[in-house]
Amino acid sequence: MDKFNKEPLVYILLASYNGGKYIEEQINSIVLQTYTNWILLIRDDNSSDDTVTIIESFIRKDQRIKLIEKGVENNSKGACQNFASLLNVAVQEKASYMMFADQDDYWFPEKIDKMIKGIDKDLNPAMLYSSFLYADDNLKILPEHVQKIKSSFLKPSFNRLIVQNTVYGCTMMINYSMAQKCLPIPQEAENHDYWITLVATGINASISHLDIPLMLYRQHGNNVTGSFNDHSNFSRVKRFFTGWSNMKKVQLKKNKMLDIFAKKMKSELLPQNLELIEGYLKWIKYNNIQLIIFCVANGIKRFSFLSTIVFYFTLCSLPKTRQIS
């Protein structure tokens, strides 16, 4: 905590890569926050556009903004490990609270203020996440029927997280204890937010939700987490017929992440969660019928009937001796 400021110091972690088109609007939205006791840590993943130039222009005007590893030719890490590097720095600096910012979104002015007031102030691991509004490339809020798609992301539970992530990192605030539990984030993690939410639900951390939109989640062709269109039934059916090979590769990678997660967190998971994930990992290697029975009995499914059927079909199609090898 800043000795001149009794408000907790919040670390905002922003991973950038070729974000010159959008990043100025995002950083401006952070600078204009009503809550002012923050540090914005940025790590750039070797952008080839004017991203770093834009970041440096803000640094000259605001000492709260810092570009880490500046002047070093970084190895390309990808978004997940870029955020993991930032989280490592924040933990090393004993940050009390951490938030994650995507380079292409836009924060409402009271985002930090409302989240710092809402997060559990106990020293035990805690995660708070807010709602958001989908917006188009120009930050125009998309229609109400689009906004309803995100309802499936509002209730993270460990059994559902075995299948898919349900909380976006750009909506999160975590405390120091939670961050410690998450590190190191392995190379096999699908996304930093997926890993963090798995840990939080797996160890029964304090998880709460602010059911108010605190940011615009910009939709465009290069979203790392994915477009709202990815969650429509049409898109799921289309992927089933046109992207079958890729779907299997994604699931194999996810199974590898879950295997690493189970081993790393074994001593800290709630007994029922350890039993759940170990049972799942057991049956995906050996028996399709038992696998489906196990998933149905334990609520391991997606948020719609159709996507659950596709998920089960994908699991059963994977080679049993290679899934997590």
The pTM of this model reads 0.89
Residue 3's pLDDT band (boundaries 50, 70, 90)?
very low
Question: Using one digit for the tens of pLDDT, what is the confidence trace for 194-249?
Answer: 999 999 999 999 999 999 999 999 998 665 555 555 545 555 555 555 577 888 99
pLDDT of residue 148: 87
Question: Using one digit for the tens of pLDDT, what is the confidence trace for 16-30?
Answer: 999 999 999 999 999
Mean pLDDT across the chain? 89
Q: How many CB atoms lie within 10 A of CB 193?
A: 22
235 or 262, greater pLDDT: 262
pLDDT of residue 6: 78
Residue with tokens 């002012």: 36
pLDDT of residue 226: 52
Question: Using one digit for the tens of pLDDT, what is the confidence trace for 235-255?
Answer: 555 555 557 788 899 999 999
Question: Using one digit for the tens of pLDDT, what is the confidence trace for 21-77?
Answer: 999 999 999 999 999 999 999 999 999 999 999 999 999 999 999 999 765 555 667
pLDDT at 151 over 80: no
pLDDT of residue 1: 46
Question: Using one digit for the tens of pLDDT, what is the confidence trace for 89-128?
Answer: 999 999 999 999 999 999 999 999 999 999 999 899 999 9
pLDDT of residue 285: 87
